[in-house]
């Protein structure tokens, strides 16, 4: 019994130990299991997280892609993407409507469907320059689905997709521009013809005017000389038969005839100047002024005018004869427009401004109000009466026209009562 008890206890113990061990194993096992499950769980969690992130990134990429694709599709420019063999990979809506194809037709189209037959070599050479330069712009005639050709400007560049080079191009229909260019060309041709015709007409009108001016100078001056001569003859040969009024009339005829003669000569000088083309030469202002002083010497002496010249004067690009005319008019004005009884004082000097020579003729005469500074350069504009200051009103018009013909300018600075400073500006010699 005891034994049995011992035995049975032992059995119980054994069972207990076994159970204990099993429990331990189970615990061990469940710990392992737990760890495994934990690792699994972690893996799942990590995987889920990465997947989530990946998903998010993917959807962002998709979103961006869609955004750019929408941009591409809705662009107002017709855009295509093709490979280097000319195979179309993608096109946008605008390009489809430009060519009149639907999408699948367009993708299937070959270059010979889209480019006019005569232009294929041009397209190939454009592709070649695109490959060598990376970008190119060219004009080419393209063809719509209905066969209708249209002129286009293609601006193409290259970029790589997955390491493979593709061409992206923008096509612009330039029919309008071409039409405008054509119109412009036609218009220009027409205009050129018109100008040539008008130039011919003007040239012949000029010739007519020239011969008219020539006959004016001869035919008008002859009767004038007769009037002046006979009026003088009256004064000399019939003096005792004429009373003072009769003599006065005869003198007036003489002076009117003389005035008209001067007027005709001035007009002739002006009209000659308006016509002849002037080739600028190197001209010495010193020698021009010498000639002018010689011309006016008797007038200068008569009124005892004082003329100071700041020599040496520079050389300019101009025309000698025209410059003599110009300076003679400026100097004769400078010694004419003084208060009665005042001895004229004139100063002539030159200065260089920005490689241009400005020649000044400065007097201490009656001066000119500012509102007339432009007007006096127009033909026949005079500010004084003929009795006080005789003249024709052509002199300053000759000055202005003469300077224009030589590529120069003329002007005046003046204050009434303080004198006038007339200037002419020309290019310096050699510039
Ligand atoms: N140096 C000057 N001083 C004052 N007035 C002048 C001077 N030069 C020209 N003018 C004014 O400009 C006008 C036009 O000059 P111009 O064409 O030479 O004609 P004209 O000498 O025959 O009167 C003159 O009538 C005069 O009123
Ligand atoms: Mg004058």
From the CA of 391, the nearest ligand is 1
Find out whether the beta carbon of 333 lies less than 6 Å from any atom of ligand 1: yes
The atom of ligand 1 lying closest to the CA of 394 is: 17
DSSP string, 24-66: HHHHHHHHHHHHHHHHHHHHHHHHHHHHHHHHHHHHHHHHHHH
- Nearby residues of 66 by Cβ (< 8 Å), 6 or more positions away: none
Q: What are the extents of the domains in the chain? A: 1-74, 75-173, 179-276, 280-427
User: What gap in Å lies between CA 230 and CA 134, rounded to an integer?
Assistant: 93
Which pLDDT does position 72 carry in this prediction? 87
Q: How remote is the CA of residue 393 from the centroid of ligand 1, in Å?
A: 7
DSSP class of residue 115?
B
- Average pLDDT score over the chain: 89
User: What gap in Å lies between CA 419 and CA 364, rounded to an integer?
Assistant: 4
Find out whether the beta carbon of 382 lies less than 6 Å from any atom of ligand 1: yes
Which pLDDT does position 2 carry in this prediction? 43
The string of pLDDT tens digits covering residues 33-47 is: 778 877 776 776 666
Structure tokens at 36: 């495994």
Q: Which of 245, 252, 247, 253 is nearest to 225 (CA)?
A: 253
Mean pLDDT of 379-388: 93
Structure tokens at 190: 């027409």
Q: How remote is the CA of residue 356 from the centroid of ligand 1, in Å?
A: 25
DSSP string, 128-171: HHHHHHSEEEEEEEEE-TTS-EEEEEEEEEEEEETTEEEEEEEE
Which pLDDT does position 17 carry in this prediction? 66
Half-sphere exposure of 131 (CA within 13 A, CB side): 12
Residue found by looking up tokens 């001016």 in the block:
213
Find out whether the beta carbon of 331 lies less than 6 Å from any atom of ligand 1: no
CA diameter of the chain: 207
- Nearby residues of 267 by Cβ (< 8 Å), 6 or more positions away: 213, 216, 392, 394
Find out whether the beta carbon of 345 lies less than 6 Å from any atom of ligand 1: no
Which residue's CA is the closest to the ligand 1 atom numbered 27? 383
Structure tokens at 172: 């612009």
Q: How far is CA 123 from CA 115, 133, 141, 203, in A?
A: 8, 15, 10, 51
Find out whether the beta carbon of 100 lies less than 6 Å from any atom of ligand 1: no
Kindly provide the b/e burial profile for residues 20-59, where b requires at least 16 CB atoms within 10 angstroms of the residue's own CB: eeeeeeeeeeeeeeeeeeeeeeeeeeeeeeeeeeeeeeee
pLDDT-wise least confident of 10-24, 215-229, 269-283, 360-374: 10-24
Which residue's CA is the closest to the ligand 1 atom numbered 8? 333
The string of pLDDT tens digits covering residues 285-329 is: 999 999 999 999 999 999 999 999 999 999 999 999 999 999 999
Q: How remote is the CA of residue 405 from the centroid of ligand 2, in Å?
A: 19
| CA pseudo-torsion sign 317, 319, 321, 325 | negative
429: burial class by Cβ within 10 Å (0-12, 13-18, 19+)? middle
For the chain, percent of residues with pLDDT exceeding 90: 60
**CATH class given for the domain over 75-173:** alpha beta
Probe ligand 1: pick from 369, 395, 399, 410, max atoms within 8 Å of CB?
A: 395
Which pLDDT does position 284 carry in this prediction? 96
Q: Is the pLDDT of residue 203 over 90?
A: no
Q: Is the pLDDT of residue 4 over 50?
A: no
- The CATH code belonging to domain 280-427 is 3.30.565.10
Which residue's CA is the closest to the ligand 1 atom numbered 24? 382
Q: How far is CA 234 from CA 245, 253, 256, 403, in A?
A: 13, 11, 15, 44
Q: Which of 171, 159, 143 is nearest to 84 (CA)?
A: 159
Which pLDDT does position 57 carry in this prediction? 86
Q: Which residue has the higher pLDDT, 276 or 7?
A: 276
The atom of ligand 1 lying closest to the CA of 392 is: 22
Mean pLDDT of 222-228: 93
- Nearby residues of 403 by Cβ (< 8 Å), 6 or more positions away: 326, 409, 410, 424, 425, 426
User: What gap in Å lies between CA 206 and CA 326, rounded to an integer?
Assistant: 23
The string of pLDDT tens digits covering residues 259-296 is: 999 998 888 888 888 666 678 899 999 999 999 999 99
Dihedral angle of Cα 311, 315, 319, 321, to the nearest 10 degrees: 30
Which pLDDT does position 338 carry in this prediction? 97
Find out whether the beta carbon of 392 lies less than 6 Å from any atom of ligand 1: yes
Mean pLDDT of 85-114: 90
Which pairing describes strands 345-353 and 315-318: parallel, antiparallel, or unpaired? unpaired
Find out whether the beta carbon of 395 lies less than 6 Å from any atom of ligand 1: yes
Find out whether the beta carbon of 334 lies less than 6 Å from any atom of ligand 1: yes
Q: How remote is the CA of residue 54 from the centroid of ligand 1, in Å?
A: 94
Q: How remote is the CA of residue 367 from the centroid of ligand 1, in Å?
A: 10
Which ranges of 216-348 would DSSP assign to H, the alpha helix?
A: 221-237, 244-275, 285-303, 320-336
Binned at pLDDT 50, 70 and 90, residue 142 comes out as very high
Q: How remote is the CA of residue 337 from the centroid of ligand 2, in Å?
A: 9
> What is the CB neighbour count within 10 angstroms for residue 211?
10
Find out whether the beta carbon of 368 lies less than 6 Å from any atom of ligand 1: yes
Give yes or no for a contact between 278 and 405, defined as CB atoms under 8 angstroms apart. yes
The atom of ligand 1 lying closest to the CA of 391 is: 22
Find out whether the beta carbon of 338 lies less than 6 Å from any atom of ligand 1: no
């Amino acid at each position: 019994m005891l034994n049995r008890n011992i035995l049975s206890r032992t059995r119980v113990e054994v069972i207990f130990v076994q159970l204990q061990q099993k429990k331990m194993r189970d615990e061990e096992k469940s710990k392992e299991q737990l760890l495994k499950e934990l690792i699994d769980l972690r893996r799942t969690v990590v995987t889920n997280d990465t997947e989530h992130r990946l998903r998010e990134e993917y959807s962002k990429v998709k979103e961006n892609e869609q955004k750019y694709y929408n941009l591409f599709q809705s662009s107002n420019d017709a855009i295509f993407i093709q490979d280097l063999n000319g195979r179309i990979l993608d096109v946008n809506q605008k390009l489809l409507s430009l060519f009149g194809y639907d999408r699948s037709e367009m993708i299937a189209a070959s270059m010979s469907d889209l480019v006019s037959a005569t232009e294929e070599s041009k397209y190939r050479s454009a592709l070649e320059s695109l490959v060598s330069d990376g970008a190119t712009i060219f004009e080419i005639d393209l063809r719509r689905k209905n066969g209708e050709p249209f002129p286009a400007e293609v601006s193409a560049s290259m970029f790589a997709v997955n390491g493979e080079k593709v061409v992206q191009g923008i096509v612009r229909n330039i029919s309008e521009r071409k039409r405008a260019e054509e119109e412009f060309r036609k218009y220009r041709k027409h205009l050129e013809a018109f100008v040539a015709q008008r130039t011919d007409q003007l040239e012949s009108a000029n010739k007519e005017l020239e011969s008219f001016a020539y006959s004016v100078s001869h035919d008008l001056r002859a009767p004038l000389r007769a009037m002046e001569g006979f009026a003088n003859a009256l004064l000399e040969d019939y003096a005792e038969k004429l009373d003072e009024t009769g003599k006065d009339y005869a003198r007036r005829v003489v002076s009117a005839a003389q005035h008209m003669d001067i007027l005709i000569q001035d007009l002739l000088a002006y009209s000659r100047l308006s016509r002849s083309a002037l080739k600028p030469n190197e001209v010495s202002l010193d020698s021009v002024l010498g000639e002018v002083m010689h011309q006016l010497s008797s007038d200068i002496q008569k009124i005892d005018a004082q003329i100071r010249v700041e020599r040496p004067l520079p050389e300019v690009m101009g025309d000698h004869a025209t410059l003599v005319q110009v300076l003679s008019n400026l100097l004769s004005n400078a010694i004419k427009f003084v208060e009665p009884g005042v001895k004229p004082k004139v100063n002539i000097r030159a200065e260089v401004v920005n490689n241009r020579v400005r020649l000044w003729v400065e007097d201490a005469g009656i001066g000119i109000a500012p509102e007339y500074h432009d007007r006096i350069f127009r033909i026949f504009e005079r500010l004084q009466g003929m009795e006080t200051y005789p003249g024709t009103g052509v002199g300053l018009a000759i000055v202005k026209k003469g300077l224009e013909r030589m590529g120069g300018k003329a002007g005046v600075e003046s204050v009434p009562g303080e004198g006038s400073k007339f200037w002419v500006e020309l290019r310096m010699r050699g510039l």
